[in-house]
């Protein structure tokens, strides 16, 4: 596995993204479960679009998901100059700079969209950030630490829980990088809207914001066509994310994530069962998909 990663790391981005796009295309034409989930999510979340447009977005989404998987080797282990140069533009970077200048730490929220690590890892050369992770077995864990720390970023294992790990770092003025677009364990989330659908969403960020007083910035990496690189987008958080009411703050966080997706919907990972868990008594969101 280690040899394979190092070999992939030195292949041109055109080749890696071509391979990822091909895998996504195979999953699309084979009518895989991932295609069916993507179309169900799009049908419910973007009903204002016609069927042809949802099909286009779903097909592109699978390709972008697997481009991310395959190009990760290059982002982690490829030539440093090439990884940095691939970030062609950073839009809204002043939001991140202003948040850091406040001296209260920064909560940087991203999501499974586009090339999130391809822009976050180079960004860590200019801003002091910690990424939180759960240790994995095997060589992938070691390689991920090498890659994510290569430009000055730091990683910390959240073995005591994300909140207990992140809060002291924020209080020391560091940035913390986190992806909240997932279904948390029962008891650690609330059902709040995401694209108008009830989504079981972690309340962790609402609690961290309340306890730390840290500003929040949203970020995603847009993958440019024909392997031309990436654009890093930094977006402001909805004001209600600072509400002391966890439900209001968590709903605001989802609105911030939704704004990222709407800016570039074909690069969001629609094939993920984001609405797998539903409120008690609600029908299965994916029944028949």
The 216-223 sheet, strands edge to edge: 87-91, 230-236, 216-223, 106-109, 175-178, 129-133, 154-157
Rounded CA-CA distance 21/227 in Å is: 11
**Token pair listed for 279:** 């409120």
Asked, for residue 282, whether it belongs to a domain, the answer is no
Number of domains in the chain: 1
Q: What percent of the chain has pLDDT over 90?
A: 89
pLDDT, averaged across the chain: 95
Q: Which sign does the torsion angle of CA 177, 240, 95, 228 carry?
A: positive
pLDDT at 136: 79
pLDDT at residue 32, as a whole number: 96
The pLDDT assigned to 160 comes to 73
Which pTM does this prediction carry?
0.95
Distances (CA, A) of 126 to 69, 151, 225, 254: 25, 9, 26, 27
In a domain, 279, yes or no: no
Q: Is residue 18 in some structural domain?
A: yes
Domain encompassing residue 26? 2-267
Q: What is the pLDDT of residue 2?
A: 86
pLDDT of residue 159: 72
The model's pLDDT over 112-133, given as tens digits with 9 standing for 90+, comes to 999 999 999 999 999 999 998 8
Give 188-193's long-range contacts (Cβ < 8 A, gap of 24+).
Answer: 190/246, 190/247, 190/250, 191/278, 191/279, 192/247, 192/250, 192/251, 192/254, 193/251, 193/254
Q: Answer whether residue 283 is part of any domain.
A: no
Query: pLDDT per residue over 161-210, tens digit each?
Result: 888 899 999 999 999 999 999 999 988 999 999 999 999 999 999 999 99
């Amino acid at each position: 596995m280690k040899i394979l990663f190092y070999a992939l790391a030195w292949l041109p981005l055109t080749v890696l993204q071509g391979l990822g796009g091909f895998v996504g295309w195979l999953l699309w034409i084979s009518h895989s479960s991932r295609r069916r989930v993507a179309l169900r999510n799009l049908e419910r979340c973007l009903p204002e679009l016609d069927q042809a447009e949802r099909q286009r977005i779903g097909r592109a989404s699978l390709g972008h998901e697997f481009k991310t998987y395959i190009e990760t080797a290059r982002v982690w282990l490829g030539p440093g100059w090439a990884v940095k140069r691939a970030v062609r533009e950073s839009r809204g970077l002043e939001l991140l700079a202003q948040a850091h200048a406040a001296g209260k730490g920064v909560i940087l929220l991203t999501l499974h969209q586009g090339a999130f690590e391809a822009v976050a890892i180079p960004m860590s050369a200019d801003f002091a950030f910690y990424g939180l992770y759960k240790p994995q077995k095997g060589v992938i864990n070691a390689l991920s630490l090498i890659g994510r720390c290569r430009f000055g970023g730091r990683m910390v294992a959240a073995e005591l829980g994300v909140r207990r790990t992140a809060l002291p770092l924020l209080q020391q003025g560091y940035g913390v990088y986190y992806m909240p677009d997932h279904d948390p364990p029962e008891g650690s989330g609330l059902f709040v809207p995401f694209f108008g659908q009830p989504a079981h969403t972690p309340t962790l960020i609402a609690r961290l914001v309340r306890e730390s007083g840290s500003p929040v910035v949203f970020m995603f990496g847009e993958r440019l066509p024909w392997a031309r690189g990436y654009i890093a987008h930094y977006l402001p958080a909805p004001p209600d994310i600072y509400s002391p009411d966890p439900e209001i703050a968590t709903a605001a966080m989802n609105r911030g994530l939704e704004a990222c997706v709407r800016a570039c919907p074909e690069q969001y990972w629609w094939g993920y069962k984001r609405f797998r868990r539903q409120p008690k008594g609600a029908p299965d969101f994916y029944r028949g998909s």
